A and B are shown apart, each in its own frame.
Chain A
Amino acid sequence: MASGSVPMTPPLHDELDIVIPTIRNLDFLEMWRPFFQHYHLIIVQDGDPTKTIKVPEGFDYELYNRNDINRILGPKASCISFKDSACRCFGYMVSKKKYIYTIDDDCFVAKNPSGKDINALEQHIKNLLCPSTPFFFNTLYDPYCEGADFVRGYPFSLREGVPTAVSHGLWLNIPDYDAPTQLVKPRERNTRYVDAVLTVPKGTLFPMCGMNLAFDRELIGPAMYFGLMGDGQPIGRYDDMWAGWCVKVICDHLGLGVKTGLPYIWHSKASNPFVNLKKEYKGIFWQEEIIPFFQSVALSKECTTVQKCYIALSEQVREKLGKVDPYFTKLADAMVTWIDAWDELNSSGAAAALPNGTANGK
């Protein structure tokens, strides 16, 4: 269960990086201080690299702007989006930790129904450290949770579960709606606290939102590419969706689990629905082709690593979605570039990426 307490020894404090994309400021970190203070932050500064983003005092962080991304990746920087929070995936690539938590800069600490502050990071860590159960649905949701278990009829051979690769959290207040829904329901707020974590079953796709997301970088990191969005691209607000569909088919193939549900954060800012509509417009039509594509993706037995799965996926994207729009051919290229860059930066002999503005906290 989520609690508002700050743990004595922050779990995984030296194994987890918090990746935050920002173009504005990091004021929101003040509210998260009790929960984030002991963790290393990777700030990915989008937009104008000459602007200085002030990081609140006392946080241990590294910060990368566009100049850093270009310098570190060289020509491969083309795969990292500009003017879109999709650029956050650069942070995943340069991290040296096993786990990543990523959060948007308009997300704050939420309260649970008893009024206590929710330590979202702590709940994500619990979700990641606890197995998933993708092969058979447990009607009492997370069977490893205190006070719950597997229900009658659940095969014992499936009760060990599989490793959890992704923990997808939710949002109170401003829900993650697309532009058409925002336009029709501008005042709707998510006030329903659903006290559950559940595994998304094998073979089932879902819309993965990047606002409040944690994952095991060693298990699934290379698949967490957030695509080509923003400046110069025909589409936006599909970065996390794209990553989520790729991640899910690869997790299904490799026998890894994806969880959704707790923890909640408080999402404070509703983005402009007209701006959103322009960004999403093509995606709304394209997803009608994209979804059947992902639902029918088959990866061969030879795809035994995430990278191999991802490259195989990129070939199928090129072949099948390239016909929908030339964007997908570019995207397939970018997926390959991403894997090349990931492997280069993450091979055992790779030099450490040099950020801009590293400060050692307190």
Chain B
Amino acid sequence: MSLKIKESEVDIVIAALRSDLTAFLEAWRPFFSPFHIIIVKDPDMEEDLKIPPGFDLQLYTKSDMEGVAGATSINFSGHSCRYFGYLVSCRKYIISIDDDCFPAKDSTGVLINNAVAQHLTNLENPATPFFFNTLYDPYREGTDFVRGYPFSLRNGVDCVLSCGLLLNVADYDSPTQAAKPSERNARYVDAVLTVPIGSMMPVSGINIAFNREALGPALLPGLRLPGEGKRRWETMEDIWSGLCAKAVCDHLGVGVKSGLPYVWRNEAADGGSAIESLKREWEGVKLMEEVVPFFQSVQLQKTLVKAEDCVAEIAAMVREKLGPLNPAYAQAAAAMEEWVNLWKALGSQGV
């Protein structure tokens, strides 16, 4: 059941929140150069982007976004600008990495993993969400399903979302970051595993890949925090998006993997203070207390077989159940509904 993804089927989508992408793109050049790249510039950024030559790339700036999406209520600023890239891509698969992340290397400079290749491998091979394999990914070389794994489940299902991890600066929220400012993730866990059906998880948008054809509309700019900023620990948009995506995947019976690949995430160049962010972003952390139980209880109608219809139904449920609790949720529902409209208008044809 394993397929082989062609380079021409992949878009690499980069949200540019930093104006100088030279170091980033040069570091990734050996891995990105076979692929088409979409760079979406944060519409709030005034400076021009510095992009080294020699890439097959398309750049979208604020005016492009306004031209394409028109008068949409979707707020694409900050990290959410990447969703514009997902929307306009006309390729089947997307890989998206934050612009402060680099190929993971060990202390001697040796590459630990090829993140692009590993994401594609994850999407090429089946996922196994219905029963947990204690040796992790059974399709990896050197391993298999263990004794006791039902044979009828060994074909697996399509993997449509691959969630990678971070070495160095892990993806912590601001309270954790503030409490452990010098903690660094040095643990390389050599595993890919399928996140079981029914199990929700926090998807970090920093290092992901997905099957746009199967899942596209489910990765969306939904929840925007009132004090949302440009640093990852000041956002929950990817966490919300990931919970949506997982609920949709569980409903459609397709798989989500977590684990390899790792990318190396740098310290915030501007020395961002988690404590300062905490003062602004504590609300976001509290919202998870309501958001997670909501997504854990989402049950979609059996007749829904397309991701966009699933998203529309989740949006209605958000409006009804979460809307009354906080204005941020009502806005998220509205954003999701608008996103489905945009996707139907633009996303299925590509631009």
Contact = CB atoms under 8 A, between A and B. Distances in A.
Contacts of B100: none
A324 B79 CA distance: 54
Contacts of B275: none
Interface stretch (A62-70, A175-183, A340-348, A351-359): A175-183
A141 B189 contact: yes
Contacts of A260: 132, 134
Interface in A203-259: 203-209, 237-238, 240-241, 244
A331 B13 CA distance: 56
B229 to A, nearest CB: 13
A222 B166 CA distance: 41
Nearest to A196: B189
A149 interface: yes
B23 interface: no
B146 A195 contact: no
Contacts of A240: 148
Nearest to B180: A149
Contact of B134 (A140, A148, A168, A201): A168
B58 interface: no
B204 A156 contact: no
A343 to B, nearest CB: 28
B134 A194 contact: no
Contacts of A135: 296
Contacts of A152: 171-173, 176, 202, 204, 232-233, 236, 239
Given A157-B289, A284-B151, A175 B144 contact: yes
B198 A204 contact: yes
Contact of B163 (A139, A185, A205, A208): A139
A238 to B, nearest CB: 7
A194 B190 CA distance: 5
A287 interface: yes
A74 B176 CA distance: 57
A151 interface: yes
Contact of A194 (B131, B191, B196, B239): B191
A158 B199 CA distance: 14
A316 B332 CA distance: 44
Given A152-B172, A201-B199, A207 B146 contact: yes
A151 B147 contact: no
Interface stretch (B29-37, B38-46, B47-55, B135-143): B135-143
Interface in B145-190: 145-153, 163, 165, 170-173, 175-176, 180, 183-190
A193 B143 CA distance: 12
B147 A149 contact: no
A11 B289 CA distance: 36
Q: Which of B150, B183, B204, B289 has the most CB of A within 10 A?
A: B150
B298 interface: no
Contact of B292 (A141, A155, A288): A155
A139 B187 contact: no
A181 B200 contact: no
A154 B133 CA distance: 24
Contacts of B151: 180, 284, 287-288
A280 B146 CA distance: 13
A207 B136 contact: no
Contacts of A147: 183-187
B59 interface: no
Contacts of A149: 170, 172, 176, 180, 183
Contacts of A139: 163, 165, 171, 201-204, 258
Contacts of A202: 198-199
B147 A153 contact: no
Contacts of B242: 153
B288 A155 contact: yes
Nearest to A157: B289
Contact of B143 (A137, A175, A238): A175
B153 to A, nearest CB: 8
Contacts of A192: 140, 142-143, 190-191
Contact of A140 (B185, B200, B233): B185
A291 interface: yes
A43 interface: no
A207 B148 contact: yes
A143 to B, nearest CB: 10
B12 interface: no
B288 A153 contact: yes
B101 interface: no
B136 A194 contact: yes
Given A148-B185, A151-B170, A209 B152 contact: no
Contact of B199 (A151, A193, A204): A204
Interface in B194-225: 195-204
B147 A237 contact: yes
A120 interface: no
B285 interface: yes
A158 B201 CA distance: 12
B292 A136 contact: yes
18 contacts: A137-B200, A137-B201, A139-B171, A145-B187, A147-B185, A147-B187, A151-B170, A151-B173, A152-B171, A152-B172, A152-B176, A178-B145, A191-B142, A192-B140, A192-B143, A204-B198, A209-B134, A209-B147
Given A145-B187, A156-B288, A207-B149, 5 more contacts: A139-B171, A153-B173, A204-B197, A206-B132, A238-B148
Interface of A: 135-141, 145, 147-158, 168, 170, 175-178, 180-181, 185, 188-196, 200-209, 237-238, 240-241, 244, 260, 280, 284, 287-288, 291
Interface of B: 131-136, 140, 142-153, 163, 165, 170-173, 175-176, 180, 183-191, 195-204, 232-233, 236, 239, 242, 258, 285, 288-289, 292, 296
